[in-house]
Each structure stands twice: as C-alpha cells, then as structure tokens.
Chains A and B, each alone.
Chain A
Amino acid sequence: MNIEVVEERDNDVLVLLPVDRLDSTNARAFESIVMDHISKGEQRMIVDFSRLNFISSSGLRVLLIAAKKLSATQGKLVLCDMQEHIHEVFMISGFDQLIPIHESRKASMNVF
C-alpha cells in the first residue's frame, strides 16, 4: 500500500511529513522513499510527525534503518512534532533515547 509523504526543504535539510498512518501495510513504501533520498546523498533529514496519527513497529523499523544509515556517514535524522500517544510508542520501545525528538520543527532545525 502507498503512503502520502509531503516533502519540504529548508536549506540543506530535507523534511519529510508522512500523512495519516505508518503501519505494516505501507512501511515498505515509506522505506523506499526514505532510502531513495539517502542513496541520492541526503545527509540531514527531519521526519515531521505533525500529520501522522498512527505508527506501529513496522514504522519504527524504517526510522531505525534510516538513522543507522545516516549515522554511518556522519549524517543525522531528527524527529519532531509528535502526538502524545505516538511519543509513548517511542518511549516504550526506547527509541526516544536513540533518535532525537523535538517538540517543533524550529527546535529540530537548531541541531543541524
């Protein structure tokens, strides 16, 4: 199944906004979009969660792969603007200690 991902750019930072659900039906589609950008040389990436209502471990898996890939080339992945119940998924899985999460897009831009 496809996923709608809005793409924006702020200088050399690519911002991806997945829309609605990132679950086991569309995680592969999201993975191919993210990995396509990384293979084309993107180094600084924000995934903005402001339009996302649902994530499962299939979605976490894609973010883990992307974070590892970017880290290997001194790049960086940052997440922002998560709803409370989605943040809870990150805390329970320990992913909040793994990938930086910021309250707002503006705050996440400051880490680059």
Chain B
Amino acid sequence: MSNELRITLPARLSELRDLAGMVEDFGDANKLPAPKVFAINLELDELITNTVTYGTFEPGTDPRIDIHLKVECDILTLTMEDNGSPFDPTVDTNPNTSGPLESRSVGGLGLHLVKNFASRISYEFVGGKNRLTLEHDLKPA
C-alpha cells in the first residue's frame, strides 16, 4: 500500500465502519503509531457525523464525502471534502468542558476533540466544496 489513501463515499453514517477498517490497514502499512490511527478515526467519526447530521446540500446534489490520507515528511495529513453548503468548523464553538454535571451538554464537543487531536487545522471553500485539512505531527516538536 502506498503512502496515500483516497476514498469517496456517500454521506452516510453506515460508511464509518468500513472506512475505519481501511484507515487501520493504512496505518499498519505505513507503520503509524496506534494513537495517530485512533485520532484519524475519531476525527472521521466526528466530522462525518456533523456533515451527515447538520450539513445542508443543494436540491439535486448527491451528498458525497472525499477522504484523502497522506504520510509525508513525518506529517500525517487528513483532508476531507464534502459538496454541502459552506460551513467552517474551525470557527470557535466553545463547548463547556468544566462545571457541574447538570450544566454539561455534548454540543460542540466533537469538534473540540477534533481540534485537540490534530496538530494544525485549516478550512477553505474551494471548487464548490468544503475542504478541511488536518495535519498531525508524527515526531514530537
């Protein structure tokens, strides 16, 4: 297997399990540390769930998600694109991560996890698609 993986899938939660298996195979083939493989699968779960649950798509559009994984120069990069309406997940969502049990909710928590597991994150709307790029340093800085 090469140092790149490209997958296009329909925007459906049911795709997640097969995708997780492919990411694990990619991790094995590229000798990636297990915590990084976990981080990628966590990010994919959170981001695809957001797109499927909250994403809006123009009438007549076939909702699709493009996944690209690449290992290069000790950086593991996950790029995810979807053909939904523009949505920038890097805008601060400020979930409540302290305070008593009664005041907590999980709103915004998924994106909070994504931002913490990635070393760098960037968003652009290009060619009619949302593109989110998540870089992960494979060596400590």
Contact = CB atoms under 8 A, between A and B. Distances in A.
Interface string B22-42: 000000000000110010011
Q: Which interface class (under 10, 10 to 19, 20 to 34, 35 or more) fits B?
A: 20 to 34
B101 A57 contact: no
Task: Give the secondary structure class of B's interface.
Answer: helix
Contacts of A32: none
B45 A1 contact: no
A60 B109 contact: yes
Nearest to B17: A25
A92 interface: yes
Task: Give the secondary structure class of A's interface.
Answer: helix
Contacts of A54: 20, 38, 41-42
Nearest to B16: A25
A64 B106 contact: yes
Interface stretch (A9-17, A34-42, A93-101, A104-112): A93-101
Nearest to B95: A93
B14 interface: yes
Q: Which interface class (under 10, 10 to 19, 20 to 34, 35 or more) fits A?
A: 20 to 34
Nearest to A77: B101
Nearest to A61: B106
Contact of A85 (B13, B35, B97, B110): B35
Interface of B: 13-14, 16-17, 20, 34-35, 38, 41-42, 45-46, 48-49, 95, 97-98, 101-102, 104-106, 109-110, 112-113, 116-117
Interface of A: 1, 21, 23-25, 54, 56-58, 60-61, 64, 67-68, 71, 84-85, 88-89, 92-94, 97-98
Given A56-B42, A92-B116, A94-B97, 9 more contacts: A1-B14, A23-B45, A24-B45, A25-B13, A56-B46, A57-B46, A61-B106, A85-B38, A92-B112
